[in-house]
Chain A
Amino acid sequence: MQRFALIAVPYAWLLALFLVPFVIVFKISLSDIALAIPPYTPTLDEGFGPFFAALDFENFAFLASDDLYWKAYISSLRIALISTILTLLVGYPIAYAMARAPEEWRPTLMMLVILPFWTSFLIRVYAWMGILSQEGFLNQFLLWTGLISAPLTILNTTTAVYIGIIYTYVPFMILPIFSALDRLDGSLIEAAEDLGCSRFQAFWLVTIPLSKNGIVAGSFLVFIPALGEFVIPSLLGGSGTLMIGKVLWEEFFNNRDWPVASAVAVILLLILIIPIILFQRNQQRQAEADA
């Protein structure tokens, strides 16, 4: 009896507030927009028969025909992919240096990486607005050094979105790589050098393969949330930056087209399922390897 309640309470909660809402999203994605409250048709008031008869894939056909959506999906994928690679390039040296740091420093360094994660995401993105604007600190600094003669336009471009994604998600990249490198036995590198590898070869042939799981985990942890990102493109990216999270938001709040917004969400979910499954596999493999 106790066991039943223990399982049933969180189960029912998640069913009602996680799974059922998705079914609703899916259902509305098959409905038509209407000038009513709620602004879609059909509703169950009309009975089951006409209800199912009125559902169709019209919205999906519309998404396929309007190249705005296509471009938004492709552009989201491209931005997520490029920023994942960039985050890896920024995060790996930091994780590597942390793992090489004296042992008594490492907990402090770890804390310093985690600390930004506890501060508001919105504030961290906002901080870059003041840095990247026309008269922002970065331009002031570059003008002062004489590297440029006229201020660059960075804010409201895709470059700013890349910087924002790298900045907010780099802790997710550093932590799994650091934990992989931290466990790496230092004598393996010495053994490789003893067997004739140069420093770089030892790094390439031993360190990189042994931190592969961390790299893969970190990359998914950046790629998956970046794909559906809303705050960063809407604050740092301009009208030229197309990302699907922003499109969905605008479709819902500005155009009040709930059926199309729902259809956008369903497709985004379908795209996300692949990296999520790959990520799960990687985690499972790692758990098995550790056991």
Chain B
Amino acid sequence: MNQTVFAPWDDPAEKPLIRFENVTKRFGEFVAIDDLTLDIFEKEFFALLGPSGCGKTTMMRMLAGFETPTEGRIELAGQDIAPVPPNKRAVNMMFQSYALFPHLSVYENIAFGLRRGDMPKNDIDDRVGEMLKLTRLEKFARRKPHQISGGQRQRVALARSLAKAPKLLLLDEPLGALDAKLRQATQFELMDIQEKTGTTFVIVTHDQEEAMTVASRVAVMDEGRVMQVATPERIYEAPSSVYVADFIGDVNIVGGSTKPAGAGQYHVHWAEGQAPFMAASDRAFSDGQACHLAVRPEKIAISAERPSDAENAVQGTVLDIAYLGNLSTYHVELPGGQIIKAQTANTQRISRRSFTWEDPVWVSWTATAGVLLEQ
């Protein structure tokens, strides 16, 4: 029944297209990549996500061949790629600056890679035509890069890097230079093209929304290490660490200690003299173990009265209200100073809004709404 679901990473028999094996990269004293192991599968749309300086660009440049690992091994389709120079790799890259050749037309930019091989002239022409069609650039073939808009340049860069039909396409912040509106439209276009061509895409981005939208799996990176690799849903709903939970989206983190309370259920003691929170967890915690409870703001309800059926409910006062149009975020201060963010959808006009500053309110959530984390 799972045949339509694309999840080669769950299949132990599947061979990865790319394998990083204990790869370390040092620049002098600086460790850019720290003993990293990672598999990427064919036809995946894989996102490397992290703040600047986390090593994601270094990983991409190692795949393209512009850097070599200090230690460890990178395999492409089972072959060690270390001795293969960039111009001999079946890997192409779309550069952050697009790196379009300013002295060549759009057509010549796309044909550039094809002309380096021994492809006959007619085939080159056909292939470039195909690429122009795919990226809807037919009208601009004769123009120079400075004669087209930013969005069109982005598509030229994509067409150029796809023209040679690489096994693997690397995209370095492909949408970074576009404005917010265009970026959203382009995200869907990218996914569409990836699906049509069946190419494996590896995208580097610092924009979590972009990574979540386009990717089949996301690797969250920090300081040269991979913190978690999972599908966007798992990254968001089941982060493996406080770092990941905090990096992706908005989250409430409450520190405390656990006390087992039946199968997969735990009490979280979070403040002296307060009733413990209830939390469900697949991961086992021992009695008195330090933990963090992570709850997304949209999973927290806010009400004037204590909800009768809530597994976790606690009273506080409204400290701040951030009105975001479609949503409002309430900052509620609990006894002891802990602040909880609760988000509600604004389905009614603002004049009917029920709470204001200093109002005493109840915040509540279910036992399965939060995630228990060790660190």
In the complex they form, do A and B come into direct contact, defined as C-beta atoms under 8 angstroms apart?
no
State the B residues within 8 Å of A (CB).
none
State the A residues within 8 Å of B (CB).
none
